[in-house]
Every structure is written in structure tokens, then in C-alpha cells.
Amino acid sequence: MSEHEHTKTDGLGEGAPLPGQALAGWRVAPRNERMAAHKIECNACPVLCQISEGKVGACDRYANQAGTLVRVDPVLLLRQRVAEGQGGVVPFLAEGSAAGSADASVEEAAEPTFVTAVGASTTYPDYKPAPFIVSSQVDGVDMVTVVTEGIFSYCSLKVKIDTDRWLGPEQANVRCRGEVVGHVSTAEYGSQMLSLGGVHHITGGSKKEGRITVEMMQTLGNQQAVEFSIDGGAQLRVQAGRAPVVDGVPEQRMRVGCGSATIGIFAQQFAGLVDEVVVVDDHITGVLTEHQAGRCLAMRPSGLQIRGRKSTPGRWFQVANPGTGWGGTDIRDPLSILEPWDAEQAWPGQRLLMVSTTGEHAAWFVLDAALQPQPAPMPPAVQQIVDRVGENCEPSLCTVLFVGGAGGSLRAGVTDNPVRLTRAIKQALVNVTCGGAPAYVWPGGGITVMVDVARMPAGSFGTVPTPAIVAPIEFSMRLADYEALGGHMAYVRPLAQTLATGAWHHEGAPTGRRFVAQPAANPWPLGRLPLLG
Ligand code: SF4
């Protein structure tokens, strides 16, 4: 969280309790004297909305319910399985009330349950302990999970788009509703990459740019579709876990490999059926008889000559411009990249296959007496290999990774000595998850986490108008380690108590909870520490 977000909270109240005091020790934030009597102030973020009864704040996440500030969404709790009828919203009880329901929560806590930060609320300012600090036992080990909805100014999305079609020049601006919200990044094998969001677009530009950026990030993070246009490039529709749509056309296949790799994979199958194969690719276009694969198969040089820059034998760069045609190039007519055949080597009747790296484009030619390629029907055996190229392509998908920096605020909610949390994470004593999904923590300084949004519960992301992104984050560790790193031990509460009464703070806390099933692809968040195997 950036420093400027903290300034409005100066003077929270004289005599504000010190970290570690008993639950009841915190004072409610002082009332703004100029505020109308029927309003209450939300202090869950620096915006400090004044909310009328029955209304919600600017982020739609907090409401004035009969004069009480509440977090409107339920907290999501993960279970390996959620039995029928168990997935509804259950209200939390006030501390100490309804012993019968509290007993029920003891029974519930007998089954492994993980309290996620989705809907958990945020305690603000920084030094307040996180809303949920939950203890439980895992394989006889006392564990604790610190749970909060983090507010991230330093955050971005890394988007992988499985296509060899050209989306735009590297570094080109990516726009959403006309605003620049990111750029085209370095392409990866078979995929184009976008870097979206980030602090410069969120807070460094105009108000509109910041607002559209966080809205775009929230929408993509919540696994919904967003339309983009790339300066000097394509129109794009992106949705996590779905095929990208490039210039209105849904992408089908990710290429099997570059042109050279495609030659290498299928050379043996082509031998005897063709005299030459050109695999057209924006990166490396392969020419079979010249390629090491053709040489090893003792194929006769065809005399075919190709435009472009030779890298190594049978591997050609820059045969055309990038585009949305054959193999991610701009060509529509494959013969346009060929020079006349070398008459010394070529022969009439030579059989040539031209194919793209996805098998979506393919053409068969036979040289006539003047060594000119003439289109001809493709033999079934060759068509079968072309089909196999396509079969080996994986479905084209968009993958959206959220990257966020857990700054001072967030860490202070875990411990009164935040650097110890950073160190404990680096020592692999702490498992960091986002909505229960495994998060990769970047090496080096700070706590920069990266998580696949498709593994997170639906609706995990929100925004606040500072502007910033709201995203769930949980830190799980052994209770002894938590104590050693200066954790807020007075706020640790057993799972059963948490299930009964909710967050330790009452103002702005969620009023209900809901069980959701753990996605089968995710490891159980409390089982990844070295000690627990
Ligand atoms: S934007 Fe949301 S979290 Fe921030 S003060 Fe307003 S209601 Fe509370």
C-alpha cells in the first residue's frame, strides 16, 4: 500500500490501543464532527466514506445496516467437499451469544476448514491486527492462518495469450475503453504476453486512467471478459481460462512448436511422401531438406530458395512480417515467400508441402516442367500428417496471473515487526495463499506474490476508489513460528470460535460466512509447509 494512503488516518484517536491489547481494547475511530447524524463513516480504507443508512460505500463492499457498518459479502471458507445444503450463507453470532450455535461450530470445525480472505474485510489503519487470525491443528501441529483482504496499489496482471498471431509491437500500448492500461510484453514460446495494470497506470496517470485500470483488473481477476485494443495491432478479447478472440476471430490452437521444431518432430513421417516441406512461422521458418532433420534422413536437396535471413541450415528468420496469416506472419499466399528454385538442383515433378505451425494452413504443390509450383490435391497420407500437426497443438487459452506487493500495511496486520514476516516467508516457514490458491512468492526483497486468478474463488477481487485493487491474502504457519515473529497472539482465535463469531473487530466486519469447495487442482493451503509435508 502506498504511503499517501495513510495520511488521512493521522489522529485516529488519542489513546488508541497498542498492538497486542485485548480484543475489546480497540477504540472505534473518532466520529467526524461535520458528518450528518444518520451517516456512519467506513474506515476500512483511506477513502473514509460516509454512508447513509441502507446504503453502501463507494466500493460496494461495506454498508450501513441499521446504523452498523458491515462488510456485505460473506467470508468464504474452504472445505475439501461441501455437502448438499451446506453452501448457504450462515450469519455470525455476537461474541458470547447463542451457545447452541457455538456448539454447532465446534462440530463444523472438526472437518478441515480454511478461512479465506475473500469477504474477510480489512482492518485499517495498518497497525490493527488482521480481521481473522485463526488457529487450528493439522496433523497434530498447532497452526495459525492470518487472513485479510489486502488493498494493493502495487499490483498488475501478467496475461499469457496462447497464439502465434501477432497482437502488436513489443512495448505497444494496450488500451481499454480508450485508456492506456498496459503494454505488450516479451513473447514466450507459442504465446503472446501482456503486462496490464501496475502502479503507473493505477495512480500515476489521470483519474480516469486509474479508474479504468482497476476496473479492468477487477473484471479480469474475477474471470470475466475484457476488450482491448493494441496500438498498431489487434483488437483483443481476453478472459481467464477461455480462448482469446483476435480481431473478432476466436483462436483455436496454440502452435505445436516453431517451424524448425515442427520439422524436427515430423520429418521422419514426411520422408518418402514429400520432396520438400516448408513450415511457415513468424519466428523460425523450417525447410526440411536443408534442415539437420532432412540431412539425417538423407533427403535430396530440393533447390527451393526462400526469402528471409538464414539462421542455421534449414532455419530461417524474418520470412515475412508478423501478422494474423500463416504461422503468425502476414502472408496469405505461401508462395510469396519463395524465390525461383535453383535449376541445378530442382526437378520437374518435385512435391512440396507448405504448412503452418498449427496445421491450420496447408497447401500442396508439384513443380511443372518449367520448375514452377502448381497447386495439386494433397495426398491423403500427407493430409494425415498435417492433421497430426493440428492434433498436437494444445487449445489456445488466456491465462491471467495477479501480481501484488504485500506492503507495510498488510504485514503490520500480521506482526508488529513486519520484516520478520518477510524473512519467515523467505525461509519457507509461511505458506502464502490468495483465496486459498497457491501463490508464488518472488525471490529477493519484499513480499511480491503471483497467483493464477483461475484458481481463486469467483469474485475474489474488488476495488476501492483511492484507486487500488482489493485482493485476498492469507499467511499460514506454525503457531510457534507466528509467536516467534512477533504475531498478534492476543487475537489468535480457534477455528470453532471463528466459525461462531466471525472477525475479532465488529465495526465493518462480515456478518456471514459461506462454505465453498476447494478446487481439486489446488493443494490444501494448510498442508504445504516443510514440516507438514
Ligand atoms: S471505499 Fe469502501 S472500504 Fe473504502 S471507505 Fe468507502 S466503503 Fe469503506
Planar angle of CA 493, 495, 498, nearest 5 degrees: 65
- Cα pseudo-dihedral 447, 525, 457, 405, rounded to 10: 0
Contact (Cβ atoms closer than 8 angstroms) between residue 277 and residue 363: no
Cβ–Cβ under 8 Å, residues 158 and 225: no
Nearest in space to 319 (alpha carbons), one of 365, 358, 283, 360: 283
Are the C-beta atoms of 214 and 194 separated by less than 8 Å?
A: no
CB neighbourhood size of 155 (10 A):
25
Say what the alpha-carbon torsion angle 372, 375, 378, 379 is, to the nearest 10 degrees: -50
Whose alpha carbon is nearest atom 7 of ligand 1?
A: 57
Ligand 1 center from residue 8 Cα (angstroms): 13
What secondary structure does DSSP assign to 224-288, as a single string? --EEEEETTS-EEEE-TTS--EETTEE--B--SS-HHHHHHHHHHHHBTTBSEEEEE-SS-EEET
Q: What is the whole-number distance in angstroms between the Cα of residue 122 and the centre of ligand 1?
A: 10
Are 58 and 465 in contact by the 8 Å Cβ rule? The answer is: yes
**What is the pLDDT, as a whole number, of residue 7?**
28
What's the mean pLDDT in 103-125?
Answer: 86
Cell of 221: 481477476
Q: What digits encode the pLDDT tens for the residues 177-217? A: 999 999 999 999 889 999 999 999 999 999 999 999 999 99
Amino acid 131: pLDDT: 95
Residues with CB under 6 A from ligand 1: 42, 44-45, 47-49, 57-59, 61-62, 464-465
Question: How many angstroms from the chain centroid is the CA of residue 307?
Answer: 40
Report residue 20's pLDDT band, with 50, 70 and 90 as the boundaries. very low
Q: pLDDT tens, 342-369?
A: 999 999 999 999 999 999 999 999 999 9
Q: Which atom of ligand 1 is nearest to the CA of 51?
A: 7
Share of the chain above pLDDT 70, in %: 90
Residue (of 396, 329, 330) closest to 160 by Cα position: 396
Mean pLDDT along residues 441-468: 95
State the closest ligand 1 atom to the C-alpha of 43, by its place in the atom list counted from 1: 5
Å from CA of 7 to ligand 1 middle: 16
- Give the C-alpha distances (Å, rounded to integers) separating 488 from 15, 62, 96, 412, 445: 19, 25, 21, 9, 23
Farthest-apart Cα atoms in the chain, separation: 98
**Cis omega (within 30 of 0) for bond into 322:** no
Rounded Cα gap, residues 188 and 161, in angstroms? 9
Place 415 in a pLDDT band, splitting at 50, 70 and 90: confident
Q: What is the mean pLDDT of residues 438-459?
A: 95
Provide the pLDDT confidence category of residue 1 given band limits of 50, 70 and 90.
very low
Q: Of the residues 45, 55, 69, 149, which should be mutated to test ligand 1's pocket, given the most ligand atoms within 8 Å of the CB?
A: 45
pLDDT at residue number 98: 59
Atom of ligand 1 nearest to the CA of 465: 1
Q: What is the mean pLDDT of residues 313-321?
A: 95
Write the residue with the smallest CA distance to atom 5 of ligand 1.
48
Ligand 1 pocket test, candidate residues 39, 40, 49, most atoms within 8 A of CB? 49
pLDDT at 126: 75
Q: What is the percent of the chain with per-residue pLDDT over 90, rounded to a whole number?
A: 74
Among 9-13, 54-58, 331-335, 451-455, which stretch is predicted with the lowest mean pLDDT? 9-13
- Average pLDDT across the chain, whole number: 89
Find the 475 Cα to ligand 1 centroid distance in Å.
24
Ligand 1 centre and the CA of 68: distance in Å? 14
Q: Which helix (H) or strand (E) holds 161?
A: strand 155-161
Atom from ligand 1 closest to the CA of residue 45: 4
Mean pLDDT lowest for which of 34-38, 112-116, 121-125, 521-525? 34-38
Least confident of 81-85, 113-117, 465-469, 486-490: 81-85
Query: What is residue 40's three-state secondary structure?
Result: strand
Which atom of ligand 1 is nearest the CA belonging to 48?
5
Say how many Å lie between the CA of residue 499 and the centre of ligand 1: 25
Ligand 1 mean position, distance from CA 405 (Å): 20
Question: Is it the case that residue 45 has pLDDT exceeding 70?
Answer: yes
pTM: 0.86
Q: Give the phi and the psi of residue 383 in degrees, each rounded to 5.
A: -55, -35
Q: Is 208 helix (H, G, I), strand (E, B) or coil?
A: helix
**If you measure from the C-alpha of residue 342 to the centroid of ligand 1, how many angstroms do you get, rounded to a whole number?**
73
Residue 382: predicted pLDDT: 98
Q: Rounded CA gap, 486 and 362, in Å?
A: 65
Distance (angstroms) between ligand 1 centre and the Cα of 38 equals 17
Residue 25 confidence (pLDDT): 45
